Amino acid sequence: MDAFVAVVVFLVFAFTFINGFHDGCNVVATIIASRSMSPDKALFWASISEFMGAMLLGTAVATTIGKGIISPEAFPPNSPVPILLILSGITCAIVWDLITWLFGLPSSSSHALIGGLTGGGLGAFGFSVINWNILFYKVIVVMFVTPIIGMAAGYLLTRMSFTLLADCHPRINNWIKRIQFLSMCFLGASHGTNDAQKSMGLIALILAGYGVIGHFFIPWWVMFGCALSISLGVSSGGWRLIRTVGFRIFKLEPIHSLNAQMAAGGIIYLSALFGSPVSTSQIMSSSVMGVGAAHKFKEVRWIVARDILLAWLITIPVVCVGAVLFYWALASVLHVPQSSFHDLLKWMRHVAGGIYVF
């Protein structure tokens, strides 16, 4: 079982690496698309800022993921159940990230992780083990509100910058390109501290649930490993998604890129301070839509936004259901406890009826 724990921890590091080139590419998409920095240079500095953000800017998000959604105290001592739970969730999240990456859809790795962790918990223990208030108010609501805020912030920053810089010489673009180095590093650090912490919390949940550590905390090697994994993922460059976010939504100029980075970076960092895991791909894409709408509404390719929105909406339920089924398959083979299908079905009918009435 100790070797099995090591394998699951390795899979979490692998997910963090995939998160780097899947979501982290949003950090450099606009600065590359606006021709403000070469791709190699942008990826290098973004990976450095991701590492520094993950190491230095706190662990509030890790606590939310590790203790907020499923409490480690709910796990039986020295039981394989928490390991299988997390294995189911992280495997389905990885598969979903790779599928959406192949199609160039900037879906959310955060959504995939939340869906996988929730699905694993449902498959193992049923509904009683999930902290629904924290999951709904601190995670799901924040995840769906922050893209709206990102679009509004991108729009307002662009309108303000157009007003302030209306009489400036065109050479101001050279300064804007230089300033983007700082805004990109800020965005990278914000993404690093938010997304790498999700994996930190998951590994700490594994270690606490299996009894490797006496109580929930983030060991230094977990922090370093997640920071390094996400940094390496960003440095590899997720070019399919860079093309979608940077080139397919709106034709970006340096001023658009700067405003989108500032809007997205500020929202992601504030969310991390309050311990709320958010989606970088959501916020960055919506910020690009906001700056595009502020410049010329009709030039935004809203059909691309529709595809992105669809990927956002289906990620959590698809990965959640996949994790439930995967856990049940593992539990049947290994003869470990699992929840009742009939209880889950009854609850889902109840929820569906409530949504219909609403």
Q: Can you give the pLDDT at residue 246? A: 66
Q: Can you give the pLDDT at residue 258? A: 86
Instruction: Kindly tell me if the per-residue pLDDT of 225 is higher than 60.
Output: yes
The answer to whether 51 touches 227, Cβ cutoff 8 Å, is yes
**Which residue in 187, 204, 201, 23 sits closest to 100, CA to CA?**
23
Non-local (6+) Cβ contacts of 243 within 8 A are 104
Cα 254 to chain centroid distance, Å, stands at 25
Question: In the predicted model, what is the mean pLDDT of the chain?
Answer: 79
**Which residue in 62, 36, 6 sits closest to 230, CA to CA?**
62
Residue 169 burial by CB count (10 A; 0-12/13-18/19+): exposed, middle or buried?
exposed
- Percentage of residues of the chain with pLDDT beyond 70: 85
| Tokens standing for residue 244 | 């979608």
For residue 137, the 8-state DSSP code is I
**Which residue in 111, 34, 11, 7 sits closest to 65, CA to CA?**
111
Q: Can you give the pLDDT at residue 340? A: 64
Confidence of residue 156 (pLDDT cuts 50, 70, 90): very high
Cα Rg, the chain, nearest whole Å: 20
Instruction: Kindly tell me if the per-residue pLDDT of 358 is higher than 50.
Output: no
Q: Which 3 state secondary structure label does DSSP give 71?
A: coil
Q: Can you give the pLDDT at residue 356? A: 47
Instruction: Kindly tell me if the per-residue pLDDT of 112 is higher than 60.
Output: yes
Q: Which residues pair with 130 in a beta bridge?
A: 70
- Percentage of residues of the chain with pLDDT beyond 90: 1
Confidence of residue 355 (pLDDT cuts 50, 70, 90): very low
Is the pTM higher than 0.85? The answer reads no
**Which residue in 103, 39, 89 sits closest to 234, CA to CA?**
39
Between 350 and 56, where is the model more confident?
56
Q: Can you give the pLDDT at residue 338? A: 66
Q: Can you give the pLDDT at residue 21? A: 75
Least reliable range by pLDDT among 53-57, 71-75, 174-178, 332-336: 71-75
Instruction: Kindly tell me if the per-residue pLDDT of 20 is higher than 70.
Output: yes
Cα–Cα distance for residue pair 59/50, rounded to 1 Å: 14
**Which residue in 93, 95, 82 sits closest to 121, CA to CA?**
82
Instruction: Kindly tell me if the per-residue pLDDT of 204 is higher than 50.
Output: yes
Residue 152, amino acid? A
Confidence of residue 54 (pLDDT cuts 50, 70, 90): confident
Mean pLDDT of 121-127: 80
CA 174 vs CA 30, 128, 167, 168: distances in Å: 16, 57, 16, 12
Mean pLDDT of 272-294: 81
Between 154 and 4, where is the model more confident?
154
**Which residue in 150, 157, 152 sits closest to 258, CA to CA?**
157
Residue 17, amino acid? F
Instruction: Kindly tell me if the per-residue pLDDT of 98 is higher than 50.
Output: yes
The answer to whether 155 touches 291, Cβ cutoff 8 Å, is yes
Q: Can you give the pLDDT at residue 62? A: 76
Residue 70 has φ and ψ, to the nearest 5°, of -130, 125
Instruction: Kindly tell me if the per-residue pLDDT of 232 is higher than 80.
Output: yes
Q: Can you give the pLDDT at residue 1? A: 56
CA 230 vs CA 18, 20, 54, 199, 236: distances in Å: 8, 5, 9, 10, 10
Cα–Cα distance for residue pair 50/229, rounded to 1 Å: 10
Cβ–Cβ contacts within 10 Å for residue 141, how many?
A: 12
